[in-house]
Amino acid sequence: MKLSDVLVPTYIQMLKALSAWLRKAELQMTDGAAERLLSARLAPDMFPLSTQVRFACVQAQEGISRLQDKPFPAMVETLLNEGRNAGEHPGSIADALARIDQTVAHIESISSNAPDMAPETPIAHALPMGMIFDLTAEQYARDWALPQFYFHVMTAYAILRAEGIDLGKADYVAHMFAYLRPGTMPTS
């Protein structure tokens, strides 16, 4: 199994869930309140919701690109810049949904026949502050790409919940209902 065979469906299902949470927020909030929600943070030193959405999109695009040894799409730099400036310019729910849709479309367009790096391929993963992690492709996928993606998705979920959006476990694992055995859904 290729590493991207694990990442691609995970990224798509969770980005679609994130999109559904934002749509739920729009429906549950009064005019203007949904837009202000994008500036909400869990803590003063954390990025706001709008950044969490954009950085989740960045992580998904970077993860697949790196494992397929392709350059990052140009949208990654746009998302990073938008995310870094989201405190002053959070954008709108429509902007956030568009970024998610663009990311899902990009990930879906990646050929399943595109070769991944071999799991043991070395990756030097450099961070902007100068730190460099020496990993194999498998370690990168397992220990960086998925956890970083989930960090931003879960932080977005937590911000939405903290701001009073009615979300629950079923919203988080909506993709699992495709596997539900008929007749086993509780009735109350």
For residue range 108-125, what is the model confidence (pLDDT) as tens digits? 988 666 788 899 999 999
- What's the half-sphere exposure (Cβ side, CA atoms, 13 Å) at 133? 12
Which position has the token pair 């990993």?
135
Task: Give me the CATH number covering residue 138.
Answer: 1.20.120.450
Residue ranges making up the domain that contains 111: 3-179
> 89 lies in a domain?
yes
pLDDT of residue 161: 96
Q: How many domains does the chain have?
A: 1
Q: What is the pTM of this model?
A: 0.92
Residue 15 has pLDDT above 90, yes or no: yes
Identify whether the C-beta of residue 171 lies closer than 8 Å to the C-beta of residue 17: yes
Would you state the structure tokens that stand for residue 153, as one six-digit string?
């998705």
| 132-136 vs 122-126, strand pairing mode | antiparallel
- Describe the chain by its helix, strand, coil percentages, rounded to 5: 60, 5, 35
CA distance 145 to 142: 6
| Residue at 76 is within a domain | yes
**Average pLDDT value for the chain:** 92
Alpha-carbon distance of 139 to 159, in angstroms, equals: 29
